[in-house]
Structure 1
Amino acid sequence: MPKQAWSSADIPSQHGRLAIVTGATSGIGYEAALALAGAGATVVLAARDQGKAERAASAIRRVHPVADLEIARLDTASLSSVRAFAERLRGQGRPIDILLLNAGIAWLPKRQESEDGFELQLATNYLGHFALAGLLLPMMRPGSSSRIVPVASIAHQRGSLHFDDLQLHDYAARTAYRQSKLAMLMFGLELDRRLRASGSEIRAVAAHPGITRTAIVRFGGAAGPMQRLMGELVMILLGQSAARGALPLLYAATAPEAAGGSYHGPAGRGEMRGAPAPSVIAAHARDEADARRLWAESEALTKVRWPL
């Protein structure tokens, strides 16, 4: 009999474990937090909006009344917010088992900058997560069950790293989004190489949700009315639920067999929907020289030096 597709029912017990989920108030972040809480983890809902985080926590407790949840403010577009969040966690002295780097924005119609002067999609989707993971790595519990999960996208396949202008002053919304998600995947692959080289058993396992019906598509104002309509139709016809989209992230975060340096997404055609399965990594995302250059640029921009 063929093995059944992996689902949230296959998540091992997470009792006694601490999981941090960025962007946990809606979409795949919320669904991942819901599933981890249901499996017994203490889940930190890391989010910009306190009110949304409280509503998300209430919704999770309606499903799992004894869920162990915490709310903490985190804006990944702000390095001061990232440092403050990490400092609070450091002060608590608790080992971290899962760091799910999910928060993101997409397709901003006009170029915007973060308070640190970075292009906003790059800042929110990638640079803030790079800094956060570097600051929290010393607090990760040693061992192969500890996971850092960068959330990438099938959009990475058409992305490029614009080293001549990472901040994309010659702005195009989709170019910026694709670059940020390519950076997330390359970061995950390079992080796992560095963890292995340092002798650490902590795994970096990247994932993507395929085509998922979430609020992120509402940022599609970069397109014209007809393009936005077509995008909505694609979501309706091809997109899967946020709960299904969260499964590759949960697999990467919890499955014992999820290897460090691997990449997971939906198994269906085009990796748009379906159960978790190994995903295609575009050849340019495997470029180790570019990954090392991206790492060095990211440390310089964020002023976070990784302890590896």
Structure 2
Amino acid sequence: MPVNIIGTAIVKGTEAIPYYQQIKTAAPYVVAAGAAKYWSRGATNTWERKLHGKVYLVTGASSQGMGTAVVLEMARLGAQLIILTRNVDEWATDWCNDLREKSQNDLIYMEKCDLSDLWQVRKFATGWLDNAPPRRLDGVVVMSGEMEPWGIPVVSPPTRRSSVDGLELQMATNYVGIFHLLDLLQPSFKAQPPDRDVRIIITTCWLQSMGEINVEDPLWQNAKYDSSLKFFASSKLQLSVCMLELQRRLLNEIKKMQKDGKEVKGTHVTVTLVQPGTMRSHSLRRVLSNGSVFLLIFLYCLLLYPLLFLLTKSGRRGAQSVLYALMTPELEEVNLQDEKVKYVSDCSIVKLARKEFEDEALQTKLYENTLRDINELEKKMASKRNKAKTTKKK
């Protein structure tokens, strides 16, 4: 077909080509749309390594978007996956079995752990650590997140949803639960042999640039709920800032062990922040539709989807940066130029922009205050559970 068209154009001229004028008119728009789509799809991960025998904890895997694309690739490469999920129900079981079948990997397991519930997080972490010798752990991949509709002023103001601990749901899921999990798992990270490359990968969002840091009230228990966007952005920002402190604490503990002449373990533990880009995810659909089925069908599906298709990523394309952080040799100890947390966007390491990422005193104080408030909240909720049990017995 292309040869015939070219031959006709050479011999008889372009006017002899059927629908030439229509093609000539539409071509610039088609090329522009193609260029926009090529740009928005982002970079592709070109690294691959064998994951046979490696063990990873994963959150946010059953999203049917980025999370599912990441775990499918990890499973295909032979990794053993322990997937943390809010509920282990019939749907989750079917999804897990489907993942095993697609990847030809039976070493995929699901554990109940609602990250918005501090008690469930501690229960899982305690169970994980209660093992001798220490369990193998090659990394943690955090892709879970909660994003509430932003609300339409006057017509539909944002409605605050709370976790079982009374925290704002986005703050509880995106920040407090993940922080608590990783802090409790520190002994597991440090117990890994020195030749094991342990990678802690945390997905974030470019909206963190719009967030605030509440050092004195890091769980935002006393903050006014006037904007769901502010709580979402701030939860992502605070988690990213605390990850810098977590990396420092792990490395300082290793150096202390070296000075004491003890066997050094965990020298390959690295923390990486990943910004996967704007995707056509459940969160985006929920925000644009404001939680309304009518707006989802009319606004998102009919009006905005063609534009979103051109300018945003699919879940599979968003997964590329996560897979890059998991597989690139740049994060191996022999190739690291410094001990700082790396920030990955579009399959390359870039610089963190906000000034908070350079303020070590702020990072330390935020981390310590978060620990303090979590411990106080856990004691409070434990007391409530004990009182409820006592009342039930009576």
Bin the TM-score by the shorter chain.
0.7 to 0.9
CA distance in 1, matches of 2:58, 2:125: 13
CA distance in 2, matches of 1:178, 1:232: 24
Residue 282, structure 1, aligned to residue 323, structure 2: no
CA-based RMSD of the aligned residues comes to: 2.6
The equivalent residue for 2:66 is 28
CA distance in 1, matches of 2:308, 2:370: 33
Residue 240, structure 1, aligned to residue 279, structure 2: no
The equivalent residue for 1:124 is 173
Superposed, which structure 2 residues align to 1:220-239 within 5 Å?
Answer: 220=287, 229=300, 235-239=308-312
- Contact 2:44 2:317 (C-alpha < 8 Å) held by counterparts: no
The equivalent residue for 1:271 is none
Runs of 4 or more above 4 Å deviation = 221-226, 228-234
Decide which structure has the larger Cα Rg and report it: 2
Identity among equivalent pairs (%) = 28
Superposed, which structure 2 residues align to 1:45-56 within 5 Å?
Answer: 45-51=83-89, 52-56=91-95
Is the helix fraction higher in 1 or 2? 2
- Contact 2:186 2:250 (C-alpha < 8 Å) held by counterparts: no
Structure 2: gaps (5+ residues): 1-42, 150-157, 255-265, 377-394
- Contact 1:155 1:178 (C-alpha < 8 Å) held by counterparts: yes
Aligned-partner SS, 1:196: helix
Aligned-partner SS, 2:165: coil
The equivalent residue for 1:299 is 371
1:179 aligns with one of 234, 244, 268: 234
The two structures have a TM-score, normalised by structure 1, of 0.84
CA distance in 2, matches of 1:117, 1:164: 18
Pair 1:289–1:150, CA change in 2 (3 A): same
Give the partner amino acid of 2:164: E
Give CA deviations for 1:25-47 in whole Å, capped at 9, x if unaligned: 11222222111111111001111
1:182, distance to aligned residue in structure 2 (A)? 0.6
Segment drifting more, 69-78 vs 245-254: 245-254
1:60 aligns with one of 91, 99, 102: 99
- Contact 1:30 1:56 (C-alpha < 8 Å) held by counterparts: no
CA distance in 2, matches of 1:216, 1:234: 17
Give the partner amino acid of 1:197: N
Give the partner amino acid of 2:364: R
CA distance in 2, matches of 1:31, 1:285: 32
Aligned-partner SS, 1:236: helix
Segment drifting more, 138-147 vs 182-191: 138-147
1:37 aligns with one of 33, 56, 75: 75
1:158 aligns with one of 186, 189, 210: 210
1:282, distance to aligned residue in structure 2 (A)? 2.3
Give CA deviations for 1:266-290 in whole Å, capped at 9, x if unaligned: 2xxxxxxxxx112342223413232
Pair 1:282–1:73, CA change in 2 (3 A): same
CA distance in 2, matches of 1:256, 1:249: 14
Give the partner amino acid of 1:102: M
Give the partner amino acid of 2:280: R
Pair 1:298–1:65, CA change in 2 (3 A): same
Aligned-partner SS, 1:50: coil
Give the partner amino acid of 1:283: R
Give the partner amino acid of 1:250: L
- Contact 2:160 2:168 (C-alpha < 8 Å) held by counterparts: yes
1:90, distance to aligned residue in structure 2 (A)? 2.3
The equivalent residue for 1:90 is 129
Pair 1:302–1:231, CA change in 2 (3 A): farther
Aligned-partner SS, 2:200: strand
Structure 1: gaps (5+ residues): 267-275
2:144 aligns with one of 87, 97, 103: 103
